[in-house]
Chain A
Amino acid sequence: MKVIPWRRLILIVLVTSITCTSFTLTFQLFLSAYDALVHGLSGGGLIVWDEKARTPITSVIRCEVVDFLKNVLRVESLSPEVLAPCIINGRMLMARGVDPNLFSSFEEFKVVEGRMLEPYDFHKVVLGVRAMKRLNLHLGERVTVLSVLRDVWATLDVVGVISTDSYIDDEIIVLTDVARWLRGLKNEELTIVRVSTNLSLLSPEGFKGVVAEGEVVKFEVTFPNGTKAEHVEIRVEDMVSVKALTDEWGIAYLRLPPGSYDVEFYLGGRRFKETYRVTVSGSLKIDVKLNPEFAEASSEQLSLRTPDTKMLFKMSELSAGRAEELVKRLFESELGLTEDTLKILSALTSIFTLTLSYYVTYTVVSNCKLDVALLRALGSSKRKTLSLMVSTLLKASVLGIASGLGLTMLTVYFINGLNITIIGYSVTITLNAYVLTAASLSLLICNLAGGLKALKDILGKTIAESLQSALFQQEAEHT
Chain B
Amino acid sequence: MLVPLAFKAILSKNGHVVPALLIITILVAELTAVGAIANAYMDKVVKTVEYVGLNLRSNFILITSSGEFMDYSTLEGVPLNADVAIISPELLINSIVTLGNKSVEARIRCVEPEVFSKVAGIEVKGLNDDYVVYIGRALADALNLSQGRTVWFTSENEPLRFSVKGVFKTQTPLDGEVLMGLEKAWMLRPKLKGKISLIRILVKKPYDYVGFENFEVKGLKVLCGSGLRSALNDLAEQTYRLIDVWRVIICVLILTTAYVLGLRLIEESKWECTLLRALGLSKNSVVKLIVYELLLICILGLTLGLALGVSGVYVACMLLKIVGLLEAGVRPLYTVELILKTSAYVIASTTFGGFVAVAKILKKPIALYVR
Contact = CB atoms under 8 A, between A and B. Distances in A.
A446 to B, nearest CB: 13
Given A154-B173, A181-B173, A344 B23 contact: no
A334 B225 contact: no
Contacts of B326: 336-337, 341
Interface in B18-71: 19-20, 22-23, 26-27, 29-30, 34, 37, 41, 44, 54-55, 58-60, 62, 64, 68
Given A87-B234, A157-B94, A423-B235, A356 B227 contact: no
Given A85-B231, A151-B226, A360 B260 contact: yes
B257 interface: yes
Contacts of B68: 142
A86 B231 CA distance: 8
Nearest to A123: B107
B58 A187 contact: no
Nearest to B57: A151
Contact of A336 (B231, B268, B324): B324
Contact of B325 (A25, A120, A186, A340): A340
Contacts of A437: none
B253 interface: yes
B260 A11 contact: yes
A155 B197 contact: yes
A239 B268 CA distance: 87
A122 B271 CA distance: 79
B54 A149 contact: yes
B250 interface: yes
A422 B173 CA distance: 29
B223 A144 contact: yes
A15 interface: yes
B119 interface: no
B252 A18 contact: yes
- Interface range for A: 35 or more
A122 B177 contact: yes
A421 interface: yes
B325 A344 contact: yes
Interface string B94-118: 1000000000100100000000000
A152 B125 CA distance: 24
Contact of A148 (B231, B239, B253): B231
A301 interface: no
Interface stretch (B147-155, B186-194, B240-248): B240-248
Contact of A29 (B62, B239, B242): B242
A345 B245 CA distance: 17
Contact of B228 (A149, A340, A341, A349): A149
B282 interface: no
Contacts of B41: 335
B230 A90 contact: yes
Interface in B280-316: 316
A313 to B, nearest CB: 21
Contacts of B327: 334-337
Question: Of residues A345, A362, A427, which shows the largest number of chain B Cβ atoms within 10 Å of its Cβ?
Answer: A345
A420 interface: yes
Contact of A92 (B20, B104, B235, B316): B235
B253 A356 contact: yes
Contacts of A392: none
B320 interface: yes
Contacts of B256: 14-15, 18, 356
Question: Of residues A147, A148, A355, which shows the largest number of chain B Cβ atoms within 10 Å of its Cβ?
Answer: A148
Interface string A150-182: 011111010000000000000000000110010
A19 to B, nearest CB: 7
A428 to B, nearest CB: 12
B220 to A, nearest CB: 12
Interface of B: 16, 19-20, 22-23, 26-27, 29-30, 34, 37, 41, 44, 54-55, 58-60, 62, 64, 68, 92, 94, 104, 107, 138-139, 142, 171-173, 175-177, 197-198, 206, 223, 225-228, 230-231, 233-235, 238-239, 241-242, 245-246, 249-250, 252-253, 256-257, 260, 263-264, 268, 271, 316, 320-321, 324-328, 330
Given A122-B176, A345-B34, 17 more contacts: A22-B252, A25-B246, A29-B246, A90-B230, A91-B234, A92-B235, A122-B173, A144-B198, A144-B223, A151-B59, A151-B60, A154-B173, A157-B94, A335-B327, A353-B30, A356-B256, A424-B234
6 contacts: A15-B260, A122-B176, A123-B177, A142-B68, A148-B228, A153-B225
List the 8 shortest-distance A-B pairs measured between CB atoms, nearest first: A122-B176, A336-B327, A146-B227, A359-B19, A352-B26, A123-B107, A87-B227, A336-B326
